[in-house]
Each structure stands twice: as C-alpha cells, then as structure tokens.
A = this chain, B = another copy of it.
Amino acid sequence: MSAISIDLVRKTAELSAEVTCPLPGSRKIYVTGSRPDLRVPMREVIQSPTQTHAGPEENPPIPIYDTSGPYTDPSAHIDLTRGLPEVRSAWIEERGDSEMLPGYSSAFARQRAEAPTLSWLRFPHPRRPRRAKPGCAVTQMYYARQGMITPEMEYVAIRENLRLDALRADPRYQRLLRQHPGQAFGAALPQTITPEFVRQEVARGRAIIPANINHPELEPMIIGRNFRVKINTNIGNSALSSSIAEEVEKMVWSARWGGDTLMDLSTGQHIHETREWILRNAPMPIGTVPLYQALEKVEGRPEELTWEIVRDTLIEQAEQGVDYFTLHAGVLLRYIPLTAERLTGIVSRGGSIMAKWCLAHHEENFLYTHFAEICEILRAYDVAISLGDGLRPGSIADANDAAQFAELKTLGELTKIAWAQDVQVMIEGPGHVPLQLIQANMDKELAECFEAPFYTLGPIVTDIAPGYDHLSSAIGATLIGWKGTAMLCYVTPKEHLGLPTKEDVREGIIAYRLSAHAADLAKGLPGAQLRDNALSKARFEFRWEDQFNLGLDPERARDFHDQSLPHAAHKLAHFCSMCGPQFCSMKITQDVRDLAARQEETAIAEGMRAKAREFRATGSNLYRSI
C-alpha cells in the first residue's frame, strides 16, 4: 500500500494508486440531461460473451450507480491542490438569488485565513464564499415548493434511474430485468423517476438533496424513502492520530467503494483547513457535527460553549460548503434525567456535550432555543439539517426507551420549524436496537417526523460482537432500510474498539452497500435485481471475471478465488475449487435445460425416456472441452 502524500510546503498532493486506479472491467459513462453541462456519471461493467454451441452470445453491459467521482475517470485530470471541477457553478449563478461575498462572514474563518502560521497547510486555491441575497432562500426545498425543477433535481432523477428506460427497450436486457415483487411498507417507488417526481418529494420534505451553494464540486444525490437507499461513511482524525493527507485519501477511498455521503468528524488540530481540502475535492455531500469544532474553540469544555461561538461555526462551515449539519437540538433539559437509569447513559458525543451544557447552566439547550435562527443561516446556503439523536440508546438494554422517544418527538417539532423556512431536514436514528424493536423505530419516525428521511446508525442488533459490529449493525441496517430508512450510516469492524484503518473502512462500506442493496431488492425498487441476475448468470456460466467485476468488491472476489485457484487458466475453467474438476453441480443443469428445450410439451414423459437412453449411450461426461 503506497501512502498518499500531500507536500504541504510545496503545495502538491498525490493520491495513492490504489484509490484512483480504474475499477476492473468497468468504464465510466455520462448520461447528458436537458442541457449540455448536466452530465451524470455512471459506471458500466462490460461482460464477456457466453460460449454456446451456436457460438458466442452477447452479455450486455450492466450500469451501476457510481459514487466514485472523477477519480475513476481515466480522462479526468486530478489536481488536489485545485480541487474538482465546479459542475454546479453555472446552475447556481443562473438562479440569480445568491452573491459572491467579499470575504468570509465568520470571524474565525477570517482569522484562520489571515494567520501566517497556517499558510503552509492551507488549501492553495480557496473559493470565495457565496450566500443568498438578502431575503432569498436558496434551498432545493424552496425551489421545489415554487414548482421549479432545478438541474440538481434532473441530475438525481437521471442518476437514480440508471438508464432503466433504455434498458427496458433493449431486447438484450429482457430476461435480466425480471424481478420479484417487492414489499415496500408504504414506500411509493415509481417505475421511472422523473425530475417532477424528485421535485414533489423534495417539496413535501420526504427527500432531500444536500447541496450547499458553496460546494459546486458536488455530484448531486438524493436521500428519501422512495429512492435508492443510501449509505453514509465517516472520517475524522481524533486527537490521537491522522493527518490532512490521510483524511483526503480516506474521502476518495470512501467514494470509490460506494459511500454516498461523508461526514467529517475530525476533532483534532486544523479542523478548518482539513475540511477545506476535503470539500474542494469531494464529489459527495459532506456532513459535519459543528459542535465538535465549537468544542475545540472552548478547549474541550462543553459548559463554556455559547450560542455565539456555535453560530460563528455554522457560518464558517456553511461558507466552506458543508452540505449538512448534524445538530443535537432535541436534547432538552427535561429529557436528561430520563437517561439516569439507563445501562449505558448518553453515548452520542453531541448529545452528551449538550447534556453537559444544559446541566452546567441549568438552561434549555441553546440549539433548541435558537433553532429558528439556525434555520435562517441554513437557508442562506442550502445546508440541510440532520437532526441528531443525542439520546439514542448505547446498548440493547436501552433501546426504545422514554428518553429516546421523547427526543424523537421533539425532532418532529423541529422538522416543522425547519420546513417553514424551506430548510431540508433528515432525522437521525439509533444505534443499538434488537430486531423486534426496529419496526417501532421506523413507525414512530414516519409518524412523528412526517416522513422526513430517516438516517440511522446501524442499528446494531446485539452487543456481544465487538470486532464484528459492522456485521451486527448491517443486519439491523438492512432491516430498517427495508422498512423505510433512507440512509444508513456505516459502522466499521473497529466500532467500540478503535480507529478504523483503510481496510476497515472498505469492509464497513461494502457491508453497508450490501445492506442498502438488499433493502432496495426487498422494497422492489425497479431494476434493482438486474445486477444480481447478471452476476448469477455469470456465475452459472463460469464467467469468473464477470462475476468478480459485477460484485461489490471485485478485488477481493478475485483475490479469494486466486487463493484456491491461482492460475489464469482457472478463470476460464468450468469448475470451481469448492467441488474440484471431477464434479460440479452447476453443470448438470445444462443437461436438464437441453432436455427441456427439446421436449414436446405434450410428450414430456416420452422425451425424458428417450433422453435417458441417449444420455447413457453417449457416456455423458459432465465436462466438455471449452
């Protein structure tokens, strides 16, 4: 593994080859929308033909939702010191409702920008901040409610569809598009996602498009129960480790494996500068917990936090381009005693910061009392709000308790306040919940938060598996995703134990991509089964390369195969290492299929008898030369 290097003195930066090399067997394609600058990236997996008696039979390319950004486009020129191309700038400017500011509105941001001691690590080509003109709202929700279909909305419609309409009209895909009926638990998944459908869902708050006007590099995506289930990943240096270079590399790594959004949870030094490097190079929405940085500004003492410090932090981050903020505004003073009898108290960092502040001052949570003011800030940049579940359970024992559900109800009240200001909202959920209590979480969220997108951390379904909590939580995530959760926050194998390595991040992302896809399949998302069908057909036909390439992690699939059968010839073999060359169950089906194809429907018995004779007569070796 070659390390990334950002030479901060010479202002050059390079990503390691392992995060930028193209995905095997894939090509990047772009689907153009109603205007030439609206180009939606997708990945296509190219398949090899099936060898039949009648000659090769084509297997068509399979389109795959692509979160990896320009990094996997061989024709893209990546320069981390310049940042990604600003795909949205023209759209934002055209709307004419925002303006470039002469400088940062945040006192802290100005101070950091001017400090000469920081110049060595500052992003070298900063953007000038943009803000709504006085009196204007620049949120996607505002536009949607005005009946306006923005380029962002059209973009996500194209992105969600993955060319499904074209595939439906193409005979090569007919069989592969067969799909089981889903069970959607009240979700309403259209056969085709239109830009108008996106607009409607955003207007009623059932979906959000996190897209800060200061993050024009963003490839827009949507979060809502009537769209593909999304996954969030986290990065962040704790006080104990990490550097800016590592964080940028992790962001690209996360995009590569399928992170739809990314939260920067850094708590160490240089949060501001790290965030700038990340945002300028991030193709996905970036979320933060502004309290973490605010806490740094008061040297880690929650009781010294003030609304003014937090307010300046919100503006600082909004002008950098953060797309959504997690704010623990529902941790009310009167809920805190409800946690006293818990087995594991308050485990959310943001929740415990606010709880500590409330206790120290015996005052109501200032994020709650200033919530309308917060929304005014957010609507001027289109920062979505992710209402944090500061009182989420930290153990199976504490699941679904009074504290948790009291806070959830408050998050519903706050949702209405935010929506009144056209601010996009999602609702954070637990955490640690045994299977039989998951449904109640979803039901309550939908009812009390009016179908605002639910965004859950797992949940972990048992506490007894430290070291395997990516798995324990993927089980809960799959179930709650099926029931209607819009985005799943990933968990790595290191959860509860330590900081994830890159391999842990990959493991966590793949677990959650798998969960999200299983949920899509179960809901009956149109086209969701295509990739399963294509991969299964490749598997059945011993097209090993296609099987690897269609999988979530082609590199690992190939590596695992090669551990048993390392030779290149084995990837053409009509057997696998599990059964060896003498016998393989999949081959027999060829015989069955050949037989059935030739049978007269009215003479099945006779045909089978004849076939039996022929079968024995020919000696019927299971293996044909290829």
- A residues near B (Cβ < 8 Å) are 178, 180-183, 238-241, 267-268, 295, 300, 303, 333, 336-337, 339-349, 351-353, 355-356, 359-362, 394-397, 399-400, 432, 434-437, 461-468, 471-472, 474-475, 478-479, 482, 493-494, 496-499, 501, 510-511, 514-515, 517-519, 521-524, 529, 531-533, 535-537, 539-540, 547-548, 550-553, 556-557, 559-565, 576-583, 585-593, 595-597, 599, 604, 608-609, 611-613, 615-616, 620, 622
The answer on a CB contact under 8 Å between B396 and A466 is no
Q: Which residues of B contact A597 (CB under 8 A)?
A: 340
Q: Which residues of B contact A517 (CB under 8 A)?
A: 462, 464
Report the bound CA distance from A620 to B302 in whole Å.
Answer: 10
Report the bound CA distance from A279 to B361 in whole Å.
Answer: 68
Q: Which residues of B contact A493 (CB under 8 A)?
A: 560
Report the bound CA distance from A501 to B557 in whole Å.
Answer: 15
The answer on a CB contact under 8 Å between B592 and A339 is yes
A589-B346, A616-B360 known; A596-B340 Cβ under 8 A = yes
Nearest CB in chain B: distance from A265 CB, A: 9
Nearest CB in chain B: distance from A437 CB, A: 6
The answer on a CB contact under 8 Å between B356 and A591 is yes
**Which of B551, B585, B593 is close to A466, meaning CB atoms less than 8 Å apart?**
B551
**Which of B521, B532, B595 is close to A340, meaning CB atoms less than 8 Å apart?**
B595
Nearest CB in chain B: distance from A378 CB, A: 25
A359-B615, A362-B612, A464-B550 known; A434-B595 Cβ under 8 A = no
**Which of B397, B494, B515, B620 is close to A529, meaning CB atoms less than 8 Å apart?**
B397
Top 8 closest pairs, chain A to chain B, by CB: A345-B589, A340-B596, A498-B564, A362-B612, A239-B580, A395-B536, A435-B522, A352-B588
The answer on a CB contact under 8 Å between A346 and B518 is no
List the B residue with the shortest CB-CB distance to A398: B536
The answer on a CB contact under 8 Å between B577 and A499 is yes
Nearest CB in chain B: distance from A330 CB, A: 16
Report the bound CA distance from A463 to B180 in whole Å.
Answer: 14
Report the bound CA distance from A300 to B593 in whole Å.
Answer: 21
Q: State the oligomeric state as a number of copies.
A: 2
Q: Which residues of B contact A587 (CB under 8 A)?
A: 352
Q: List 10 A-B contacts (CB under 8 A).
A: A267-B579, A343-B536, A344-B536, A345-B589, A345-B590, A345-B592, A360-B612, A397-B532, A468-B510, A468-B553
Report the bound CA distance from A587 to B348 in whole Å.
Answer: 11
Report the bound CA distance from A395 to B179 in whole Å.
Answer: 12
Q: Which residues of B contact A240 (CB under 8 A)?
A: 564-565, 577, 580
Q: Which residues of B contact A531 (CB under 8 A)?
A: 463-464
The answer on a CB contact under 8 Å between A465 and B551 is yes
Report the bound CA distance from A435 to B481 in whole Å.
Answer: 11
The answer on a CB contact under 8 Å between B468 and A238 is no
Q: Which residues of B contact A346 (CB under 8 A)?
A: 585-586, 588-589, 592
Q: Which residues of B contact A349 (CB under 8 A)?
A: 579, 583, 585
Nearest CB in chain B: distance from A467 CB, A: 4
List the B residue with the shortest CB-CB distance to A355: B588
Report the bound CA distance from A75 to B268 in whole Å.
Answer: 51
Nearest CB in chain B: distance from A289 CB, A: 12
Nearest CB in chain B: distance from A419 CB, A: 29
The answer on a CB contact under 8 Å between A359 and B395 is no
Report the bound CA distance from A609 to B183 in whole Å.
Answer: 51
A344-B586, A362-B609, A580-B267 known; A592-B466 Cβ under 8 A = no
The answer on a CB contact under 8 Å between A535 and B300 is no
Given contacts A267-B580, A360-B612, A436-B482, 17 further A-B contacts (CB under 8 A): A241-B577, A295-B583, A349-B579, A355-B592, A356-B622, A397-B529, A434-B529, A461-B521, A462-B514, A465-B553, A466-B553, A467-B551, A468-B511, A468-B556, A472-B518, A497-B564, A499-B577
**Which of B180, B353, B560 is close to A434, meaning CB atoms less than 8 Å apart?**
B180
List the B residue with the shortest CB-CB distance to A339: B592
Q: Which residues of B contact A579 (CB under 8 A)?
A: 238, 267, 349
**Which of B351, B501, B532 is close to A463, meaning CB atoms less than 8 Å apart?**
B532
